[in-house]
Amino acid sequence: MSLSFLLLAVAALCALSFYFGRQRAVALSGGRHSNLHSLPAHYGAYTAAWCGIPALFLILIWYMFQGTVIETLIISDLPAEIVNDSGQLSLALNSISLIAAGNGEHLSVSPEIIDAGRRLGNLQTVANVALVVVILSAAVLGLAVSYRKIEAEMRARNNIERIARYVMIGCSAIAILSTVGIVFSLLFEAMHFFTKVSPLEFLFGLEWSPQTAIRDDQVASEGAFGAIPLFAGTLLITLIAMCVAVPIGLFSAIYMGEYASPKFRAVAKPALEILAGVPTVVYGFFAALTVAPFLRDNGAVLGLDVSSESALAAGLVMGVMIIPFVSSLSDDVMSQVPKSLRDGSYGLGATKSETIRNVIFPAALPGIVGAVLLAVSRAIGETMIVVMAAGLAANMTANPLQAVTTVTVQIVTLLVGDQEFDSAKTLSAFALGLVLFLVTLGLNVFALKVVQKYREKYD
Amino acid sequence: MAAVSQSAMTAEPSVEKPKMTARNLDLFYSDNQALFEVNLDIAEKQVTALIGPSGCGKSTFLRCMNRMNDTIDGVTIKGDVTLDGRDIYDKRIDVVQLRARIGMVFQKPNPFPKTIYDNVAYGPRIHGLVNSRDELDEIVMTSLERAGLLKEVKDRLQSPATGLSGGQQQRLCIARAVAVSPEVILMDEPCSALDPIATAKVEELIDELRSNYTIVIVTHSMQQAARVSQRTAFFHLGKLVEVGETDQIFTNPKDERTKGYITGRFG
Amino acid sequence: MTDMASLMEDRAAAKVISDNLRKPVDWDSPKIARNIKKRYAAERRFKIYGLAAIFLALTALFVLAGSIGSKGYSAFYQTYVQLEVTFDKSVIDPDGTGDPEVIGRANYDGLIKSALRERFPDVTARRDKRNLYGIVSGGASYDLRERVLENPSLIGQTRSVWLISGDDFDMLNKGYIDPAVPEGDRRLNDQEVGWYNELVADGAVDKQFHARFFTNGDSREPELAGIWGAAVGSFYTLIVTLALSFPIGVLAAIYLEEFAPKNRFTQIVEVNINNLAAVPSIVFGLLGLEVYLNVMHLPRSAPVVGGLTLALMTLPTIIIASRAAIKAVPPSIRQAALGLGASPVQTVTHHVLPLAMPGILTGTIIGMAQALGETAPLLMIGMVAFIVDVPGSALDPATVLPVQIYLWADSPERAFVEKTSAAIMVLLAFLVLMNGLAVYLRKKFERKW
């Protein structure tokens, strides 16, 4: 709550400094705006920027480091035997934060922990107060300094425009920052994981059962981290999805683009696009509660043993989800085939379907391949459908009627619920995430390149 | 008043045994009329040139002759176009077959993104004109030969057609049209995208093809019309103003507008 | 062989095949006619494939909508059971204090139980009694309490009261439990079905609009569970997402479209934006978990963390849409403004941005709609906790609508199936609303330059 208060306070100070800056400029001008270099509002904006931007920046920095700094302070005061055992440490930190939040009455912990909890509570209070003081004084300081700098000859507009430019560059840099953030957080934890499990075993191992020992004396369950069954399951489901999405998407695009009357298109095209707007959790529910039982029951009638978490159900529904993706991308691509090629084919007496099959489709093929690759990348990264409709058991099978598991399913199951950080089990999720990121990134970069090259050819 | 004298003039120069005819042809794009009462005969095994300022309807008229306008939405056509005396807009006429009999070469060379061989083989394949690979080979070779391209490409029949130069591409398109043994070839400004040397080659080719095919060529270049055609028709604002022997049109035009155009006063 | 000789040979060979080709194609031959027929059949087939594809896709859409609609519509109604409840003074307010605090603490559950026992006096076995109490939901006692607090004069009287029923009875009344199946295979035994039939015969069972579904937070009891908590969580999350991604996205788009020089930095930014748009959403969840929770120690399960995570996800959508909108403003307008002596920043803020705003807003709404439907990354940052309370701020633990759907879909109770479907209907209604708004904006401000 104190954060929103602080933000409001800074906003109010900004408004105030805008007013002050403007007033001072008006006063300096002696009533004639032409005496000023810039408009009075520019001087106001100048002071407001100096008041607000450093303050906001400080808040950001503060929040990035407050938690870590306080945690380090707390840990440094804890007994060594707790600090050196990562399991105990995370338990202790948990209790400490509970105590600090005032919810620790029922905990039976050592007095050091209770002490630490109190200290944490104090530290947090101090930190919050300090934050408010630092931020507000920074804002006021900015206001005062910039106010005094205002003179009639000051190039306020140029100044404010330069500031605006830096702000815009900062905003653009966020795109880079998030990529860097993704890469580093995945790499960092994955490296951690690879100190426990060798990358070779992870990438080429054939057994996946991430249950590690909870207590030290449980030697029996070591946990196996061979991700091949996950990759195989992901590929199987992706393949099924593509078998649905590619032909249906492609033929829909062809019919929409080449045959449909404008009226038909006006209705059918948005209707198809609805499929893309449906949240994936809805597809997951549909797959798990409608499609999977339907397949299981009908399979039973035919004498087939269909698992109720079959790869087929998840794949079919995922395929439906991807149809509009494939169809709109290939529609784009095919409509870029120049009209002269169609004319050439019609002029030789080809029918519409012959023209499409023999001329338009081959001409658009690179673009369509790109579109399909983008769709594959989307299918690989899709999470909710498989979490809800695919299984958890890491089976190595090519039988679509059986249950398989996927990379994304495992990431979710490993990280949802209570987790001890630092265990190989939890860390393996980040290794899987890293693989997922790299594979989809590679597919996308490649596909975008293919599509771009294709576009250039016909532009 | 002027309209009466014109139509009297355009109805007159019919030819004996025309390959194709157009009678009272009107064409509308939605509500805009683009062709007005066009009457024209196309003589067999001759080159007929259609000339006129841009937007005069000569290309539109050309596209009526193999029903390419069918592929454009909102086009309506009144009047008759015949091939060997049969109305090509008749319901019983199959447009696919019609376009095989009346081939077309376009303004910009438009080879399909396939090999040279497959480009030429495309027509015979879809129309089922051949029974064996040997027969197809033969047709491809002959057609390339007729288009004067065989010598340049015979070592790279399997390389992509898009790798050819502009002039070669256009001659490939002509070979592609010839491969289905059409009776008439329509050419829509076939040299407008080519350099002078390539143009000369194509013109030479048109002249050679005349012995086997009836050719209608739209051109914006009067020199080209004079060089390659035996008959010339002058279009202006959607109307056929004058048609006659090429020599007569260029040396002794009867209509003032034709005279104005060929002497370069407008157009 | 010299060139000349080869040329001569070519010519000679060509002459021969030329003559072969000269024989015209007989277009009326039966072979050609057969071929034409075949080709037209292929044409028709091809067209049918296309239609079939669209038909299949639309069928999938209808089956999806139909299955959710048919499963979910019943959740908007709830079964109520009428009982004669004695508002026993000795239970509610034995000392006659009239103090609301005393009245509020009374054992209303006991009142309901005794009302049930009176209604079915022949039920004596403990097991059966427990089943009997299942007719009425555990939440009914709160209703009674409210009623008495509102109107203390009820104390000491006997009234017939409509009480919200338990989920199994609700399912039976809605027809989801079939009394025809063998007793062992259904959730209610024959005795319970008998009670139900008796109540129905007395006209003591009714269906009423289920307002709780819209006003309650989550609950373990399906009949008490509602979507309000999740809706508020979604609202806070989206506010945070919007507050971050809209200004940052628009500013970045303006920079890239209007000011950015063609240098390495710009190039890297563009590549990054395109790639981020295609990164699987769950990877953003991992980023959120690592950076916001593990490094920055922001509160787990809080909408603010969800919003921060989703903001990064929607940023590419907003940037790409905004750039397209800015690009669509014709250069002539910029030149006109610059020609009057406006600075580049003034040109953008006074002319380009207002003209591009409808397009930018459309893109933003679509991005927000995506964020509203997103589930996977929020699972990573702990927004899957079971949370009964409606969150009061963006820092309280909360869940969001799609995660609520995921949680309910995972619940074993039959009654949660209809709740899940109904929650999906509510979520889809919001999405339709947002997308409709986007379409309206686009139509209204569409401008052809």
pLDDT reported for residue B10: 44
Statement to judge: residues C284 and C419 lie in one domain: yes
Q: Across the interface, do A359 and B112 touch by the CB < 8 Å criterion? A: yes
Domains of chain A in sequence order? 2-196 (no CATH), 224-458 (1.10.3720.10)
pLDDT band at C44 (very low <50, low <70, confident <90, very high): very high
Highest mean pLDDT: which range of A250-264, A394-408, C9-23, C83-97: A250-264
Give the residue from C178, C210, C242 where a domain finishes. Answer: C210
Neighbouring chains of C at 3+ CB pairs under 8 Å are A, B
Within a domain: residue C63? no
Statement to judge: residues C200 and C289 lie in one domain: no
DSSP string, B4-58: HHHHHHHHS---SSEEEEEEEEEEEETTEEEEEEEEEEEETTSEEEEE-STTSSH
| Cα(B154)–Cα(B166) distance, integer angstroms | 17
Higher pLDDT, A244 or A112: A244
pLDDT of A355 > 90? The answer is yes
Q: What is the pLDDT of residues A260-278, one digit of tens each?
A: 988 999 999 889 989 999 9
Statement to judge: residues C154 and C244 lie in one domain: no
Statement to judge: residues C85 and C144 lie in one domain: yes
Within a domain: residue C304? yes
Residue B225 DSSP SS3: helix
Q: Across the interface, do A251 and C247 touch by the CB < 8 Å criterion? A: no
Tell me the residue ranges of DSSP E strands in B127-193.
184-188
Within a domain: residue C11? no
pLDDT over 90 percentage in chain C? 37
Shortest CB distance from B108 goes to which of A340, A347, A354?
Answer: A340
B67 to chain A: closest CA residue: A347
Provide the CATH number for the domain around residue C263.
1.10.3720.10
Q: Across the interface, do A175 and C316 touch by the CB < 8 Å criterion? A: yes
pLDDT reported for residue C56: 95
pLDDT of A36 > 70? The answer is yes
Whether C279 contacts A433, CB under 8 Å: no
Give the residue from C148, C177, C210 where a domain finishes. Answer: C210
| Cα(C174)–Cα(C75) distance, integer angstroms | 10
Compute CA C427 distance to the chain's CA centroid, rounded to the nearest angstrom.
3
pLDDT of A422 > 80? The answer is no
Mean pLDDT of the C376-387 span: 88
| Cα(A317)–Cα(C151) distance, integer angstroms | 54
Whether A209 contacts A223, CB under 8 Å: yes
Q: What is the pLDDT of residues B122-173, one digit of tens each?
A: 999 988 888 889 989 999 998 998 888 899 998 999 999 988 998 899 999 9
pLDDT over 70 percentage in chain A? 94
pLDDT band at B3 (very low <50, low <70, confident <90, very high): very low
pLDDT reported for residue A248: 96
pLDDT of C308 > 60? The answer is yes
Cα C36 to Cα A54, B102, C29: the distances in Å are: 77, 17, 11
pLDDT of A183 > 70? The answer is yes
Q: What is the pLDDT of residues C223-280, one digit of tens each?
A: 889 999 999 999 999 999 999 999 999 999 999 999 988 888 888 888 889 888 889 9
Statement to judge: residues C323 and C203 lie in one domain: no
Highest mean pLDDT: which range of A54-58, A154-158, C56-60: C56-60
Measured between beta carbons, the chain B residues lying within 8 angstroms of A347 are 66, 68, 99, 103-106, 177
Q: Could you tell me the residue range of the domain that residue C313 belongs to?
A: 228-445
The whole model's pTM is what?
0.86
List the Cα angle A283/A289/A295 in 5-degree steps.
100
CA distance from start to end of chain C: 65
DSSP string, A354-421: HHIIIIIHHHHHHHHHHHHHHHHHHHHH--HHHHHHS-SS------TTSB---HHHHHHHHHSSS--T
Question: How much helix, strand and coil, in percent to the nearest 5, is found in chain C?
Answer: 70, 5, 25
Whether C434 contacts C364, CB under 8 Å: no
| Cα(C118)–Cα(C110) distance, integer angstroms | 12
pLDDT reported for residue B62: 93
Own/partner contacts of C244-248, CB < 8 Å, gap of 24 or more, are: C244/C307, C244/C308, C244/C311, C245/C310, C245/C311, C245/C312, C245/C314, C245/C315, C245/C318, C245/C364, C245/C367, C246/C318, C246/C364, C247/A171, C248/A171, C248/A174, C248/C311, C248/C315
pLDDT over 70 percentage in chain C? 94
Query: DSSP secondary-structure letter at C166?
Result: P
C64 to chain A: closest CA residue: A286
Sequence-ordered alpha helix ranges (H) in C255-280: 264-276
Highest mean pLDDT: which range of A394-398, A417-421, C335-339: C335-339
Statement to judge: residues C144 and C254 lie in one domain: no
Contact A303/C at CB under 8 A: no
Statement to judge: residues C271 and C420 lie in one domain: yes
pLDDT reported for residue C86: 87
Within a domain: residue C243? yes
pLDDT of C6 > 60? The answer is no
pLDDT reported for residue A231: 94
Element of type H or E holding A253: helix A228-254
Q: Across the interface, do A178 and C405 touch by the CB < 8 Å criterion? A: no
Mean pLDDT of the C297-314 span: 90
pLDDT reported for residue C143: 87
Measured between beta carbons, the chain C residues lying within 8 angstroms of B101 are 27
pLDDT band at A220 (very low <50, low <70, confident <90, very high): very low
Cα A66 to Cα A71, A126, C72, C229, C297: the distances in Å are: 8, 11, 46, 30, 8
Q: Across the interface, do C25 and B129 touch by the CB < 8 Å criterion? A: yes
* Structure tokens given for A361: 């489709």
Q: What is the pLDDT of residues B21-69, one digit of tens each?
A: 999 999 998 888 999 999 999 998 999 999 998 888 899 999 999 898 8
Q: What is the pLDDT of residues C147-171, one digit of tens each?
A: 888 888 888 888 888 999 988 888 9
* Structure tokens given for A26: 């008006």
Mean pLDDT of the B238-243 span: 91
How many CA atoms within 13 Å lie on the side-chain side of B171? Answer: 27
| Cα(A344)–Cα(A355) distance, integer angstroms | 9
Statement to judge: residues C363 and C401 lie in one domain: yes
In sequence order, the 6+-apart residues with CB closer than 8 A to the CB of B163 are none
pLDDT over 90 percentage in chain A? 37
| Cα(C124)–Cα(C133) distance, integer angstroms | 12
Within a domain: residue C410? yes
pLDDT of B77 > 50? The answer is yes
Q: What is the pLDDT of residues A301-336, one digit of tens each?
A: 988 888 888 999 999 999 999 999 999 999 988 988
pLDDT band at A25 (very low <50, low <70, confident <90, very high): confident
pLDDT of A217 > 60? The answer is no
Statement to judge: residues C198 and C330 lie in one domain: no
Q: How many residues does chain B have?
A: 267
| Cα(A14)–Cα(C19) distance, integer angstroms | 91
* A122 conformational bin, left if phi > 0, alpha if psi -120 to 50, beta if neither: alpha
pLDDT of C96 > 80? The answer is no
* Structure tokens given for A113: 């922990």
| Cα(A366)–Cα(A389) distance, integer angstroms | 33
pLDDT reported for residue C387: 84
Measured between beta carbons, the chain C residues lying within 8 angstroms of B129 are 25
| Cα(A43)–Cα(A24) distance, integer angstroms | 8
Statement to judge: residues C403 and C292 lie in one domain: yes
pLDDT band at A234 (very low <50, low <70, confident <90, very high): very high
pLDDT reported for residue C239: 94
Statement to judge: residues C144 and C236 lie in one domain: no
pLDDT reported for residue B2: 40
How many CA atoms within 13 Å lie on the side-chain side of A308? Answer: 5
pLDDT of C17 > 80? The answer is no
pLDDT of A124 > 50? The answer is yes
Measured between beta carbons, the chain B residues lying within 8 angstroms of A342 are 71
> In CATH, what class is B2-107+187-262?
alpha beta
Q: How many domains does chain C have?
A: 2
- Average predicted confidence (pLDDT) for chain A: 86
B125: closest CA of chain C, how far (Å): 11
